[in-house]
Amino acid sequence: MSETVTVNELATHDSALEPTATGERADLLEALAKHRHFLRFTTRDLTDEQAGRRTTASQLCLGGLIKHVTAVERAWAQFVLDGPSAMPDFTAMTEADWARRADEFRMLPGETLTGVLADYAEAARRTDELVATLPDLDATQPLPKAPWSQPGARWSARRVLMHIVTETAQHAGHADIIRESLDGAKTMG
């Protein structure tokens, strides 16, 4: 049976950490919270079937976008702690690896929107805790091997966190288009 996720249920997934973070850290947490809200809000009042429906020419669906942003946030947060070993060597990935990665953009059999949102809330909580407690935002790690990474490049924790904010905001925009195509609902306006 397909569940419908309501706006009230979405509110329970807010990762509002009550940090003692101030300044830059508070700004990062606020930006993350804002864009996470917009992304989650696109799924309000949807059934699991609707969350898995493709509504545009792309392969994207709302549930899949949430899954992808969850995976990206989780991986990059782990990268801050463990460096490139937290991520795959994208230059060595096989077709099967890429096919498995593509599954994070889809709602798979047995997955529910409620479950996907709960997983996202947990990843967000852990990232928020990292932002609030990380000893040094200037600490750097070498980027993982990937065709899109410049060889030898390093990113600071700050840059990684800004990347998470950017990725979340970008996909919140994608989600808004998908939702509007699904049933005319808009996140804003």
Question: Does any domain span residue 19?
Answer: no
Q: Average pLDDT, stretch 138-151?
A: 91
pLDDT band with cut points at 50, 70 and 90 for residue 3 = low
Question: Does any domain span residue 31?
Answer: yes
Q: Does pLDDT of 52 surpass 90? A: yes
What's the length of the chain?
Answer: 189
CATH code for position 92:
1.20.120.450
Rounded to an integer, what distance in angstroms lies between the CA atom of residue 176 and that of residue 144? 31
Bridge partners for 46 per DSSP: 5
Q: What are the Cα distances from residue 92, in Å, to 67, 89, 100?
A: 23, 6, 14
Residues 7-18 pLDDT 10s: 444 444 444 444
DSSP strands (E only) in 3-137: 4-5, 46-47
pLDDT band with cut points at 50, 70 and 90 for residue 154 = very high
Asked if 75 and 87 touch (Cβ cutoff 8 Å), the reply is: yes
Please name the residue ranges forming H helices in the chain: 7-12, 23-41, 48-51, 62-82, 95-102, 113-133, 157-183
* 68 Cβ neighbours under 8 A, 6+ residues apart: 104, 105, 171
Residue type, 154: R
Q: Does pLDDT of 43 surpass 50? A: yes
The answer to whether the predicted template modeling score (pTM) of the entire model surpasses 0.95 is no
Instruction: Give me the number of domains the chain comprises.
Output: 1
Domain with 93, as residue range(s), is 24-183
Question: Does any domain span residue 104?
Answer: yes
Task: State the average pLDDT for the chain.
Answer: 89
Question: Does any domain span residue 156?
Answer: yes
Per-residue model confidence (pLDDT) at position 148: 87
Bridge partners for 155 per DSSP: 141
Question: Does any domain span residue 121?
Answer: yes
What one-character DSSP code corresponds to residue 162? H
